[in-house]
Amino acid sequence: MDLERLNYDENNRHHRFIRKLAISVVSLVVFFLIWWNLSLILNNPAVPTPGETWDAMRYLFEKGDLVSGMTMWSHMSISLQRFIAGLLLALAVAVPMGLLLGYSNTLNEFSSPTLEILRPIAPIAWAPIFLFTVGYVWGPILVVFVGIFFPMLTNTIFGVKKIEPNWMDAAKTLGANKKQVFTKVMLPASVPYVMNGLRIGMGVGWMCIVASELYASYGGGVGYFVSIQAQLGYWPNVFVGIILIAILGILTTGLSDYAYRKIVKRMGIE
Amino acid sequence: MSGNISIANLSKTYKTDEKETVALWDFTLYIEEGELVTIVGPSGCGKTTILRMIGGLTEPTSGTVALGGKICQGPGPDRGMVFQDFALFPWRSVRKNVEFGLEVAGVPKAERRERAERYIKSVGLEGFENAMVHELSGGMKQRVGIARALVTKPNVILMDEPFGALDAQTRNIMQTELLRITEKTDTTVIFVTHSVDEAVYISDRIVVLTKRPASIKEVIDIPWPHPRDRSSPEFTALRRRILKMLESENIQPDGKEGSIA
């Protein structure tokens, strides 16, 4: 497209924003057209048209689904609550643990054989065990926990190891005791790395929540909804579930990306 | 407590699997309260090690450091330190950096704010109290470093090539600033530098070290008043003399020349 005819100015923030927005809109329109055509060509009930999906979505948000009687709002809120619980749990365990393992080589050497065995296991592989042992409320939460735990732990350990030794020396010569060096230097210095772990963990965690809910036979949640609707063959509803999973995923990772950038900028670290 | 420092028979040996390296051998020096002493020596001779041992950050292999007659154990706020790479906390504002030493000592908030502001002003950073570290130039960062070290009123400040990362002009300005700031107090300053010019400009006394294992080659008194004229004949003569000494130290036994950084 000849942008100069539209008086496009590369150095103008608003112009850049409008350009980006326009491209995104075109991209989405193309996507919907492809979806629509595919659905018509395939003529398969498992691939509903965008229109059918839209109607299903409106119905589900207003009235709820026929199996559980819950609206999509409650399914979303259940999934989000589990996601946040798993996230907080991972934060509460991975950050202190990462600080300790980054600080003490002995502890790191002690725990790394176990951690290296557990790390490559896909979090969702734990779902059947967790759901059986702690039930459908805590099961998905624990799967999310496992998913977020490892990136967060690795990043926190890395962050502690990257702390400038001079910062600790400076704190010591200013009279800080061991505890103050920990709380006033190590903890804040590792924040950008913890945030980076959080950012990566958010993406993994969101996949975990949906996947583990697919296993769960009751209790609500977007993943559960998709699984039940697929069994019943209500395909437009399944599509609604998938779209909401995508939107919630984008929102959560977008939020953590934003927070990460803010913090890194504030601390002047690239 | 008074700010005189007595360093007695300080030695440092680093052990690795293959060999032992003697970094410093039998370093003895007495420094009066309020004196500004610089330590110069061939690169890699262990100047920083001396400073770190006085600061309590590195354990000496043998020997002692006493401040005002009391032997120092580990780091403490009585010996402030200024680092070559500034070592400021980037997550804290200028004010919060300067307040750090007061904060860990439990000084109440209002008082520490007032004291920090006084020192920020004295290093010429008024108006930058709320700036973040990454917004400052190198010279300004080191001003914060100096204010942070001084705010707890240490008896001694240890400066490890504090102006080494600055450009030549900023460096000259900072030397004058340092003299202005420390003149008003009776703080003792121990200053490590690569720059002979800097040493001759600011020092009451210069300690010239030999190459590894470092020991004292010569101690030079400079009784001249401030400000000093860098282009005066006696200034350049002294500078040349010290440079000669360092050059002879940098010649290796096998006749090869050592690195001159």
Structure tokens of B81? 């330190």
Q: Nearest chain B Cα to A187, which residue?
A: B91
Q: Scanning the structure block, which residue is given the tokens 């000259």?
A: B172
**CA dist., res. A159 & res. A153, Å (int):** 10
Contact between A253 and A202 under an 8 Å Cβ cutoff? The reply is yes
Query: Who contacts A242 (Cβ-Cβ below 8 Å, separation ≥6)?
Result: A226
- Kindly report, residue by residue over A187-210, the tens digit of the pLDDT: 888 888 888 898 888 888 888 888
What pLDDT is stored for residue B114 in this prediction?
Answer: 92
- Kindly report, residue by residue over B27-50, the tens digit of the pLDDT: 888 988 888 999 998 877 788 888
Q: What is the ipTM of this complex?
A: 0.86
Structure tokens of A177? 């005791």
**CA dist., res. B100 & res. B87, Å (int):** 13
Q: How many angstroms away from the CA of B137 is the closest CA of chain A?
A: 13
In angstroms, the Cα distances linking B144 to A266, B125, B173, B176 are 18, 8, 15, 16
Minimal Cβ distance to A172: which of B57, B90, B105:
B57
Q: Does the beta-carbon distance from B91 to A189 stay under 8 Å?
A: yes
Minimal Cβ distance to B104: which of A166, A176, A191:
A176
Where residue B259 falls among pLDDT bands split at 50, 70, 90?
very low
- Phi, psi of A173, rounded to the nearest 5 degrees: -70, -15
Q: Nearest chain B Cα to A268, which residue?
A: B134
Q: Does the beta-carbon distance from A266 to B132 stay under 8 Å?
A: yes
Structure tokens of A19? 């350009």
Domain boundaries, chain A: 1-43, 49-266
Q: Does the beta-carbon distance from A166 to B87 stay under 8 Å?
A: yes
Structure tokens of A191? 């924040």
Least confident of A5-14, A144-153, B78-87: A5-14
Q: Does the beta-carbon distance from A191 to B132 stay under 8 Å?
A: no
In angstroms, the Cα distances linking A19 to A144, A250, B11, B85 are 37, 21, 67, 43
Q: How many angstroms away from the CA of A100 is the closest CA of chain B?
A: 21
Where residue A1 falls among pLDDT bands split at 50, 70, 90?
low
**CA dist., res. B159 & res. B82, Å (int):** 5
Q: Scanning the structure block, which residue is given the tokens 């002003």?
A: B121
- Kindly report, residue by residue over B62-92, the tens digit of the pLDDT: 888 888 888 888 888 889 999 999 999 999 9
Using left for φ > 0, alpha for ψ between -120 and 50, and beta otherwise, residue B2 falls in: beta
What pLDDT is stored for residue B257 in this prediction?
Answer: 47
Q: Is the pLDDT of residue B254 over 50?
A: no
SS3 category, B188: strand
Amino acid type, A230: A
Least confident of A14-18, A91-95, B85-89: A14-18
Where residue A152 falls among pLDDT bands split at 50, 70, 90?
very high
Instruction: Find chain A residues with C-beta within 8 A of B77's C-beta.
Output: 173-175
- Kindly report, residue by residue over B15-30, the tens digit of the pLDDT: 887 888 888 888 888 9
Q: Scanning the structure block, which residue is given the tokens 């090690």?
A: B49
Q: Is the pLDDT of residue B165 over 50?
A: yes
Question: Which of A163, A168, A172, A173 is the best mutation test for B, with the most CBs of B within 10 A?
Answer: A173
Contact between B107 and B124 under an 8 Å Cβ cutoff? The reply is no
Query: Who contacts A9 (Cβ-Cβ below 8 Å, separation ≥6)?
Result: A15
Contact between B147 and B128 under an 8 Å Cβ cutoff? The reply is no
**CA dist., res. A98 & res. A154, Å (int):** 7
Instruction: Find chain A residues with C-beta within 8 A of B65's C-beta.
Output: none
What pLDDT is stored for residue B252 in this prediction?
Answer: 52
SS3 category, A126: helix
Residues of A with CB under 8 A from a CB of B: 164, 166-167, 169-177, 180, 184-185, 188-189, 191, 266-269
Where residue A268 falls among pLDDT bands split at 50, 70, 90?
low
Structure tokens of B86? 């500034």
Question: Which of B49, B104, B134, B155 is the best mutation test for A, with the most CBs of A within 10 A?
Answer: B104
What pLDDT is stored for residue B34 in this prediction?
Answer: 86
Question: Which of A168, A172, A174 is the best mutation test for B, with the most CBs of B within 10 A?
Answer: A174
SS3 category, B91: coil
Size of chain A, expressed as the number of residues it contains: 270
Where residue B261 falls among pLDDT bands split at 50, 70, 90?
very low
Instruction: Find chain B residues with C-beta within 8 A of A169's C-beta.
Output: 55, 57, 75, 81, 83, 87
CATH 1.10.3720.10 matches A49-266: yes
Q: Does the beta-carbon distance from A167 to B91 stay under 8 Å?
A: no
Looking at the DSSP assignment, which residues form a beta bridge with residue B92? none
Q: Is the pLDDT of residue B216 over 70?
A: yes
**Burial of B169 per CB tally in 10 Å (0-12, 13-18, 19+):** exposed
Q: Does the beta-carbon distance from B83 to A176 stay under 8 Å?
A: no
Amino acid type, A111: S
> Strands B62-67, B5-15: parallel, antiparallel or unpaired by DSSP?
antiparallel
> Alpha helix locations (H) across B123-185?
138-150, 168-183
Q: Is the pLDDT of residue B212 over 90?
A: no
**Burial of A130 per CB tally in 10 Å (0-12, 13-18, 19+):** buried
Q: Chains A, B: CB contacts under 8 A, how many?
A: 77
DSSP A6: G
